[in-house]
Amino acid sequence: MHETLSKITNRISRIILIVGVLGMSNASAETKPAIVIHGGAGTITRASLTDEKESSIRAALKSSVQAGYQALLDGASSTEAVAAAINVMEDSPLFNAGKGAVFNADGKNEMDASIMEGAGLNAGAVASVTHIRNPIDLALKVMTDSEHVMLMGEGAEEFARQQGFEMEDPAYFRTDFRWQQLQRIKAKEAAKQQVTTDDQHDQWFSTVGAVALDQQGNLAAGTSTGGTSNKRWGRVGDSPIIGAGTYANNNSCAVSATGHGEFFIRYVVAYNICNRVELGTPLAEAAETVVNDILVKAKGEGGIIAMDAAGNIATPFNSEGMYRASIDTDGNMSISIYREEGEPEGALIGNVEH
């Protein structure tokens, strides 16, 4: 009698175990992937963009978001998809990352990048690299193949060489547009003219980033930039700093930022948003509070892209525009540059003093 009872109990627990395992794998297989990218925030008015430039930017945003989404559909992890999307913008001369990065005060392109996965809070970052074609790939390598989170300058490049990265000639990163931008800022400095808000906007603009949710339900975020034009003294902004420019945690959200980096570091923007989400605030509200209340009060201009584990998307910015694109969990694509109807006014338009 006892034996029969224990056999039945055993069988029941085995069935419960099998159902449990099936349930788990079903849950993960059911996650519909989604991705959001940005190509920087700043003074982006219709008047400041020619039709031609606007359509090239829209086309580049589209290729980037589609590359990331396709990777997700093919079963890539969210970190791989984030890197794939960012690679497209790093390779385009239109953005301040990889080719097309801004120049520092010494006329060099010095780049920063970071990436983080929401599953285990692993992260990788590089700062001030000058020969790496795709800094986001090196950040990913730091995450997967070193015991560190952040490497900088020559050390980061030595690590890259050891990992088989090809060193790019610095001339590869040069674009005439960015060179002229540096000359304008330098001429004003030399003439002791006040650097205007427009010049300031010129200085930090078109950083790129991506956040993604993969089929396993894992979030990731990444950011890549040349930093600010005419930067000196080894200045590093928020983009390679985990918690400031980039953050991902499956328990809350994934965030990539763009804007006046010093403010994003001080207000720990990416983590600040995710922490609010972890404590129960909906994603859109958390992102809106940090970008359009806290940062606005501090006069910190910029924006962020964010996604939570359910695939909800938020893209608030307090500047005039932000290059952005997304493909949501239903496969709907959206590409925007300016403020869309219904979005709140950029609270910092025209009143930021840097």
List the catalytic residues.
207
Between 72 and 150, whose beta carbon lies closer to ligand ASP? 150
Query: How many residues appear in the chain?
Result: 354
For residue 193, the 8-state DSSP code is: P
Binding status of residue 258 toward ligand ASP by CB under 6 A: yes
* H-only helix segments in 224-267: 261-266
User: Per CB under 6 A, does 228 bind ligand ASP?
Assistant: yes
Residue with tokens 């790093």: 90
Per DSSP, the three-state class of 272 is: helix
CA distances from 253 to 78, 173, 317 (A): 13, 32, 17
Asked whether position 69 contacts ligand ASP by CB under 6 A, the answer is no
Between 64 and 96, whose beta carbon lies closer to ligand ASP?
Answer: 96
- Pick one of 261, 300, 316, 321: the residue that binds ligand ASP (CB under 6 A): 261
According to the binding rule CB under 6 A, does residue 311 interact with ligand ASP? Answer: no
Q: Locate 184 and state its tokens.
A: 């304008």
Q: How far is CA 61 from the centre of its chain?
A: 13
> Which CB, 69 or 264, lies closer to ligand ASP?
264
The residue from 98, 237, 243, 316 that contacts ligand ASP (CB under 6 A) is: 237
Instruction: Write the CA distances from 142 to 115, 124, 130, integer angstroms.
Output: 9, 5, 16
Q: Which of residues 15-44 bind ligand ASP (CB under 6 A)?
A: 40
Q: Taking CB under 6 A as the rule, does residue 135 contact ligand ASP?
A: no
Size of the site for ligand ASP (CB under 6 A): 14
Segment interacting with ligand ASP (CB under 6 A) among 144-152, 199-207, 214-222, 246-254? 199-207
Q: Is 95 in the site for ligand ASP (CB under 6 A)?
A: no
Q: If binding is defined by CB under 6 A, does position 238 make contact with ligand ASP?
A: yes
Q: Is 200 in the site for ligand ASP (CB under 6 A)?
A: no
323 binds ligand ASP per the rule CB under 6 A? no
Closest-CA residue to 233 (of 135, 102, 128, 101)? 128
- The DSSP result for 292-312, as a single string, is IIIHHHHT--EEEEEEETT--
**H or E element, residue 314:** strand 313-314
Contacts of 90 (CB under 8 A, 6+ apart): 97, 98, 99, 133, 134, 135, 136, 208, 224
Q: Which two tokens stand for residue 190?
A: 């030399």
Give residues with Cβ within 8 angstroms of 187, minimum separation 6: none
By CB under 6 A, residue 104 contacts ligand ASP? no
Task: Give the binding range for ligand ASP (CB under 6 A) out of 10-18, 84-92, 146-154, 221-229.
Answer: 221-229
What single-letter DSSP state applies at residue 102? Answer: P
For position 225 contacting ligand ASP by CB under 6 A, the verdict is yes
CB of 86 to ligand ASP, least distance (A): 13
Place of tokens 């003439």: 191
Of 69, 95, 173, 204, the residue at the interface with ligand ASP (CB under 6 A) is 204
Find the part of the chain contacting ligand ASP (CB under 6 A) among 25-33, 43-51, 177-185, 255-263: 255-263
Residues that bind ligand ASP (CB under 6 A): 40, 96, 204-205, 207, 225, 227-228, 237-239, 258-259, 261
